[in-house]
A and B are shown apart, each in its own frame.
Chain A
Amino acid sequence: MPTVTMTVNGKQRSAEAETRTLLVSFLREQLGLTGTHVGCDTSQCGACVVHVDGVAVKSCTLLAVQADGAEVTTIEGLAKGRELHPIQAAFKEHHGLQCGFCTPGMIMTAVDMLRRIPEPDEPTIRAELEGNFCRCTGYHNIVKAIKAASEAM
């Protein structure tokens, strides 16, 4: 079994992984980072979005070995201790989550969105969320939270 090494949330981590192991399984099972979720088996739902070398990816579409040597940020690495990232804070302030299952992927997608598009309008936010499902909020407050975060940042 190959050993995979990557920098995850600023720390170098190594673990053995079968070549067929998906990045999301590696993060959840080998590294114990269970904040990244699996909500489907067809790369539709976006619950598993993390950042690989600064770009949002669905970690179910990547093998762990493909991320060897990469910088990976997961939801666990976004806040600085108790100090929330502005997008995390906006999700709380604007009730952008209910059951919380899609939330890590939503937030990681939103961080990437605002990096590329600092001041998105509402239709842009909705279009950018195409790859993330939420079954609880009807997206209403997620859109509001991302808009508010873009204004705060």
Chain B
Amino acid sequence: MPADKGGNGAQSGIGAAVRRKEDFRFITGAGRYTDDITLPGQSYAYFLRSPYAHAQIAAIDIAAAEASPGVVAVFTGKDVAADGLGGLICGWMIHSKDGSEMRTGAHPVLALDRVRYVGDHVAVVIAESLAEAKAGAELIDVDYEEYDAVVGVEAALAENAPQLHDEVPGNLCFAWELGDKAATEAAFDRAARRVTLTFANNRLIPNAMEPRAAIGDYDRGTGDYTLYTTSQNPHVARLVLSAFVGVAPEHKLRVIAPDVGGGFGSKIFIYAEETVCVWAAAKLRRPVKWTAERNESFLSDAHGRDHVSHAELALDADGRMLGLRVHTRANLGAYLSTFASSVPTYLYGTLLSGQYDIPAIYVEVDGVFTHTAPVDAYRGAGRPEATYLVERIVETAARELDMDPVEFRRRNFIREFPHQTPVIMNYDIGDYDASLNEACRLVDYAGFADRRAASEARGRKRGIGFSAYIEACGIAPSQAVGSLGAGVGLWESAEVRVNPTGSVEVLTGSHSHGQGHETTFAQLVSDQLGIPIENVEVVHGDTDKVQFGMGTYGSRSGAVGMSAIQLALDKVIAKGRRIAAHLLEAGEEDITFDGGSFQVAGTDRAVPFADLALQAYTGHGFPTNEIEPGLKESAFYDPVNFTFPAGCHIAEVEIDPETGVTHIENFVAVDDFGTIINPMIVAGQVHGGVAQGIGQAMLENCAYDPESGQLLSGSFMDYCMPRADDLPEFVVGMTETPCTTNPLGIKGCGEAGAIGAPAAIVNAVTDALGIRDIAMPVTPERVWRAINS
């Protein structure tokens, strides 16, 4: 943080629980989401989707659909190909352990001759109304030749398994490795004890409450394209649609992501539907709108997780970790989604050291194609899978050593920083004892034995489970991720525009879809410039307004996005000081900036920020041949390292053995997110993340029929979303070791809940039942069967 700052601290600055600026429009029904927008002459798109998991398309007859009332046009993959559009892309190249590039087939916007999952896009019908588009789609006659399908990784890798892509023999996209194999083998050779576990990390469907939507528009006078869409990263969408898919030139395409109703990763990616809307709008010379129905979200939003892993932990005679060996098979779905290949590799294998000093780690990951919807980043993206694996095997090891799980963790914690793990990451700072101790205090670990006895006296089974997670946010530096295969840089941009009246607009490449950036980013500006938060406007989500930016995912907006704003603010203050030196007739080195005022040190001569802003624009009081008029600065911030949020989650559960129902008695989350801008918003992020983590552990599961490849959990009646009465009141605590590698010390808080919670729940349930393992989600049926088997 710069030495000089405005110091608007207590009420609205850094650390204050400022109520959100964006709330008024949402609580009064005045939010503006994509589906709320209606353009003149708008038409409606409906996508005909494959009813089969795997089939050859022999022919598509669209004549009857084209003649159907209200239908404007019917397009198939041939029309898209005829216009020369490219396919959808994956932006991260993974190399297999033999050095070869990952293998993948084409991902056409609309299917050409083959469909590869239930919900794959076959055709689009565009009509005057949605009802007419749907009626038209009913009349499309597709001649399918159905083939066998595979939905699980084991089946897909089996000999003679049905093949997804001709270019991918054996359905193996990549066979990746990380770590020192020989050193890890040596560690196992000298181990006094080995602990092994084999388990799945269940597949999830993100289910942001706002379904995906898009409106394409085309101005035939100017040749400008506009796409309104539910995106977490509108600039990246524009780049992909222009440079790779080739829908429109980048400078002629405007992407607007207005209010977006949650993303959790699922709105990072560039999908077929928005591509078709903007392409068809230009073809038809009228706006084309598509809004997903929830069943389409289930079928075609990128799913999350879906690993099968075998893990082995080597320990010495004193219970110290010597090595970790992991083999994971990751389900990628039918096609590689935008960042799919990075999730089970560099966002997963690199986190397998957890909070522990493990001298040797070796991980192999096989990325496997199956006849299911594409799998990509979902809240946590790789880190929940890593944490679940590490914390499940750590808890299991403690039990097999007959050690207290808290003591076992303490024995193996990393305590010296920076710490280089065997899997790329260099942790800059942390205090894992602090978060563990605070979590134990909040849950009253000392009183657990009594509570367990009381439960037993009532015929109930009580258990406690720990999860000391670590994650990595703010993926960077760009050069480093480029060397690992990333197709983009992962910096962020900001522009701070001071207006002549002293009010400020902040243009950020981050995107807010629930995170509260309009408040927290304004808090930073208010704090640094010493101006009222009401005078700060945060502008995001429109490529015509905002400079190129990378968007919001991976808990990066605070650590990277706000760092960029800080750099721009530093430049504003530096320029303000130069101008103030002239206005106050003093040396620049004598000008301080504090409390919203530039001042000559040691005197009462000062110029308030707003007055200086006006002077900057009149240019009357300083030589404009030396200092340009105006007060507007921009910055691109590229982090020098990842940030490493960490913490400890503890779940305490009570199980009714008669019914198998698990009740969460306590859930404590203690997190170290570094510097906190707004504790109210940070706690809200923890609540939501934990709810999704508990959802994974106890309720949610995406299931495909292994024979037909049909999605069995295709609606809210079949996919168990967490409801209010499924969840407890959460206890949230904080510890703080500011990140050492960015200007504000922020680590990131958006995903920690979803990362930490699942292992805590499953550790608690297995503790209560006295069993080694149980599959997620731990439904009453699974618990009842475990008790009665």
Task: List the interface of chain A (C-beta within 8 A of B).
Answer: 18, 20, 28-29, 33-42, 44-45, 47, 74-76, 78-79, 84, 88, 91-93, 95, 97-104, 107, 122-123, 125-127, 129-130, 132-143
B interface residue count range (under 10 / 10 to 19 / 20 to 34 / 35 or more) = 35 or more
Q: Are A92 and B27 in contact (CB under 8 A)?
A: yes
- Contact (Cβ within 8 A) B716 A133: yes
CB distance from A102 to the nearest CB of B (A): 5
B681 x A42 contact (CB < 8 A): no
Q: Given A92-B19, A101-B210, A127-B725, are A138 and B687 neighbors across the interface (CB < 8 Å)?
A: yes
B487 interfacial contact with A, CB 8 Å = no
Please name all residues of chain B whose beta carbon is closer than 8 Å to the beta carbon of A104 when the two chains form the complex. 26, 29
B211 proximity list for chain A (CB < 8 A)? 38-39
Once the chains bind, are B294 and A136 in contact (CB under 8 Å)? no
Chain A nearest CB, measured from B693 CB (Å): 10
* Chain A: minimal CB distance from B46 (Å): 13
Which 6 residue pairs of A and B lie closest in terms of their CB atoms, listed nearest first? A35-B29, A100-B26, A101-B261, A138-B691, A99-B514, A75-B29
The docked-state distance in angstroms from the alpha carbon of A136 to that of B28 is: 18
B36 close to A (CB within 8 Å)? yes
Give Cα distance in the complex from A107 to B58, angstroms.
51
Q: Is the CB of A129 within 8 A of B723?
A: yes
> Which residues of B sit under 8 angstroms from A130, Cβ to Cβ?
723-725
Q: Mark contacts of B24-51 with chain A using CB atoms, 8 A cut-off: 1 yes-contact digit, 0 otherwise.
A: 1111111111011010000000000000
Contacting residues, chain A, for B515 (C-beta < 8 A)? 98
Give which listed residue, B19, B28, B30, B514, contacts A93 with CB less than 8 A. B19
B683 to chain A, nearest CB (A): 8
CB of A92 within 8 A of CB of B24, answer yes
B704 an interface residue at 8 Å Cβ cutoff?
Answer: no
Q: Is the interface of B mostly helix, strand, loop or mixed?
A: loop
- B690 sits at the interface (CB 8 A): yes
When chains A and B are docked, how far (Å) is the Cα of A54 from the Cα of B29? 18
Q: Which of chain A's residues have a CB closer than 8 A to the CB of B730?
A: 138, 140
Cβ B295 vs Cβ A41 within 8 A: yes
Shortest Cβ distance from residue B698 to the other chain A in the assembled complex, whole angstroms? 13
- Distance in Å from the Cβ of A9 to the closest Cβ of chain B? 10
Q: Please determine whether B716 and A98 come into contact, CB atoms closer than 8 angstroms.
A: no
B629 contacts partner chain A, Cβ-Cβ < 8 Å: no
Complex Cα distance, B261 from A134, in Å, reads 10
In the complex, the chain B residue whose C-beta lies closest to that of A44 is: B716
Given A33-B29, A38-B35, A135-B207, decide whether A95 and B684 contact each other with a Cβ distance below 8 A.
yes
Assess the B294–A42 pair: CB atoms within 8 A. yes
Q: Is the CB of A45 within 8 A of B27?
A: no
Q: Contacts of A143 on B, CB cut-off 8 Å?
A: 724, 729
Known contacts A37-B209, A95-B20; can you find 15 more A-B pairs with CB under 8 A?
A: A34-B32, A74-B29, A79-B28, A92-B20, A100-B31, A100-B514, A102-B209, A104-B26, A125-B724, A130-B723, A135-B264, A136-B684, A136-B688, A140-B691, A143-B729
Interface membership of B61, Cβ < 8 A: no
| Interchain CB contact under 8 A, B262 and A45 | no
Residues of B within 8 A of A33 (CB): 29
Contacts of B717 in A (CB 8 A): 42, 44
Q: A92-B19, A139-B691 are in contact. Are A40 and B29 (CB under 8 A)?
A: no
* A100, A123, A137: most-surrounded residue (chain B CB, <10 A): A100
* A101 close to B716 (CB less than 8 A): no
**Nearest neighbor of A74 in chain B, beta-carbon distance:** B29
Closest chain-B Cβ to A63's Cβ sits at a distance in Å of: 14
Does B208 contact A135, Cβ atoms closer than 8 Å? yes
Given contacts A99-B514, A135-B264, contact A47 B209 (CB under 8 A): yes
List B contacts of A129 (CB < 8 A): 723-725
A133 to B291, CA, bound (A): 19
Contacts of B31 in A (CB 8 A): 35, 100-101
Task: Tell me if B259 is interfacial: C-beta within 8 Å of chain A.
Answer: yes
Please, how many angstroms separate the alpha-carbon atoms of A150 and B74 in the complex?
53
Most chain A beta-carbon neighbours within 10 Å: one of B29, B131, B259, B753: B29
Q: Are B209 and A133 in contact (CB under 8 A)?
A: yes
Chain B residues whose CB sits within 8 angstroms of the CB of A134 once the complex forms: 209, 724
Interface centre among B293, B684, B689 (most CB of A within 10 A): B684
Chain B nearest CB: distance from A146 CB in Å? 10
* CA A42 to CA B259, docked complex, whole Å: 24
The listed residue (A40, A98, A139) touching B516 by CB distance below 8 A is A98
Can you give 27 contacting A-B residue pairs, CB < 8 Å? A18-B131, A35-B30, A37-B209, A39-B294, A40-B715, A42-B717, A45-B294, A95-B680, A95-B683, A95-B684, A98-B515, A99-B209, A101-B261, A126-B725, A130-B723, A130-B725, A134-B724, A135-B692, A136-B684, A137-B688, A138-B690, A138-B692, A138-B722, A140-B687, A140-B727, A140-B729, A142-B724
CB distance from A95 to the nearest CB of B (A): 5
Q: Are B729 and A35 in contact (CB under 8 A)?
A: no
Please state if A97 and B27 are interface contacts (CB–CB under 8 Å).
yes
Are A36 and B29 interface neighbours, CB within 8 A?
Answer: yes
Cβ contacts under 8 Å, A45 to chain B: 209, 294, 716
Inter-chain contacts of B27 with A (CB < 8 A):
75, 84, 88, 91-92, 97, 100, 103, 107
State the CA gap A20–B208 with chains docked (Å): 27
Complex CA gap A141/B29 in Å reads: 19
B513 contacts A by Cβ under 8 Å? yes
Minimum CB distance partner of B206 in chain A: A135
User: Does chain A have a CB within 8 A of B23?
Assistant: yes
- Asked if A101 meets B33 with Cβ closer than 8 Å, knowing A44-B717, A137-B684, the reply is yes
Please, which residue of chain B has its CB at the minimum distance from the CB of A125? Answer: B724
Instruction: Name the residue of chain A whose CB is nearest to the CB of B717.
Output: A42
B241 within 8 A of A: no
Kindly state the separation between the CA atoms of A20 and B725 in the bound complex, as whole angstroms.
Answer: 34
B 637-675 binary contact with A (CB < 8 Å = 1; else 0): 000000000000000000000000000000000000000
What separation, in Å, do the CA atoms of A35 and B74 have in the docked complex?
A: 32
**Smallest CB-CB separation from A75: which chain B residue?**
B29
| A125 and B688 alpha carbons, distance in the complex (Å) | 18
